[in-house]
Amino acid sequence: MTRLHAPGFPEEPIRARARTGEAAAFPYWSEYGRAVFGAEPGDDLLDRMRLAPPIFMPQRLEKLIELGREPTYADVELATAIGGLPSRLPVYVSALGSTEVAGSVLGLAVIRQAARLGVPLVIGENVASMDGYRDTETAAGLLLRIKTYLAELRDGYGGIVVQQSTEDADSEVWNLVYSDPAVADLLDSGRLAFELKAGQGAKPGLGGMTVLDPADAARVAGRYVLDTTIGPGAALLRSGCPGTFTEEILGQQVRLMRNNYPRARVWVKLPPVRDVRAAAHTAWAAGADSVTVDGGEAGTGWAPLVFLRQVGLPLAECLRRLGPPPSCVLVSGRMWEGARAVKCLALGATAVGLGRAALVAADEDPENGLVSLVECLAFEMRMLISALGKYTPDRLGPEDIWDPEGGWAPDVGSDPEGGPPGAGSGPDAGRGRGAGS
């Protein structure tokens, strides 16, 4: 029989759906546990923006007077507070949850190296619900991940952030962590935070997803939605609940977190949604120490292909809608090198998160891959920030960005800092930005 052709039409994806049905909505199921998934590269505004140094640099003059010599990029100080947690760099490791990759030896390698770097680590949702709270022989339970991090932690920097999903709340995960003597040092040193997850970059509007074999699926039947449509064989799709939010519900949950866990920092994670500004300001008004925004480019876990390709605002648009944040905002989405990170800091972020990059780096070298990646990132950030005539990340601003679409960069006018005329030349002119404390 002659094979039909459809020139100019997406013939192969259609044929794949005809062959496999609902399974074609996801990456090929055999890749689960061997790949990390996020949005495919596209027309990314952050990538098209350029950093724009000035020639007149009053802050460099300030630094010269302070040091008594000409400053260099080595004088840039990157240590900062990230949602109230002390960090050596404006970098954190994004949420790694209950996927097979995150719970493997590779996931533990990321945890160890994050602690050595002195940067905060987010332990994602559904870990206790899937792998248990206490240490087990077969899975990286929640407490094992915390202990792995603590074993490498030094010098007062870093911290653990524990995310909680709807299913985790049923297991009272935050109560278990908050009352556990093994976590007392984190509480005493102000290095524990709880993160309320309202969504994620890879699949905004959906809950967490993993692939399970029948035995593991049987353990969690009744707690999660289980679907057999993802591929041949016995693999099942496990889906969590996304949760239901209104402004009142979100604000009340943040207030309850502050009341019930007064010694822990309160974080809120938002997906790349059209009302990101209203959601972030609701969280801040209720007392959140930090709001994390995943851009549509973010993701490490299992997600439907259509979500990776077509759902969620790009990170640049999320930052534009947020405007100058009154407190700490953290962002993630295809972070791995210095320019993208510095652009986000200039547009209002306090720090950037590493997800897929952290896992790939640790896969390359389980002992030092993430450390080497972050050291290179920090080196680039110091050079870029110094080239802009500034010496701490919180003094960056939108005047340091050239936006080809004209939606960000102010009119340079005659201001020596490159800001709008009359805006002033001080480091915080027009910013309204918190330091994350």
Reading the block at residue 24, the tokens are 């074609």
The number of residues in the chain equals: 437
Longest dimension (CA), the chain: 83
Residue 164 has pLDDT above 90, yes or no: no
What pLDDT, on the 0 to 100 scale, is given for residue 131?
A: 67
Q: How far apart are CA 73 and CA 282, in angstroms?
A: 38
C-beta separation of 83 from 265 below 8 A: yes
Q: Tell me what the pLDDT averaged over the chain comes to.
A: 82
Q: How far apart are CA 335 and CA 173, in angstroms?
A: 29
- Average confidence (pLDDT) over 109-126: 93
Q: How far apart are CA 334 and CA 352, in angstroms?
A: 10
pLDDT band at residue 207 under the 50/70/90 scheme: confident
Residue 413 has pLDDT above 60, yes or no: no
Q: How far apart are CA 263 and CA 177, in angstroms?
A: 12
Residues 6 or more apart whose Cβ sits within 8 Å of residue 311: 203, 204, 205, 296
- Single-letter residue type at 3: R
What pLDDT, on the 0 to 100 scale, is given for residue 34?
A: 57
The residues with which 268 forms a beta bridge, in sequence order, are 196, 291
Give me the sign of the Cα torsion angle 384, 388, 389, 392.
Answer: negative
Q: How far apart are CA 418 and CA 343, in angstroms?
A: 16
C-beta separation of 286 from 251 below 8 A: yes
Residue 416 has pLDDT above 60, yes or no: no
Give me the sign of the Cα torsion angle 99, 171, 118, 72.
Answer: positive
What pLDDT, on the 0 to 100 scale, is given for residue 392?
A: 98
What is the tens place of the pLDDT at every residue in 255-310?
Answer: 999 999 999 999 999 999 999 999 999 999 999 999 999 888 776 666 777 777 77
* Least confident interval from 9-13, 313-317, 324-328: 9-13
Residue 38 has pLDDT above 80, yes or no: no
Residue predicted with more confidence, 21 or 72: 72
DSSP 227: E
Reading the block at residue 140, the tokens are 């990286």
What pLDDT, on the 0 to 100 scale, is given for residue 84?
A: 97
What pLDDT, on the 0 to 100 scale, is given for residue 172?
A: 85
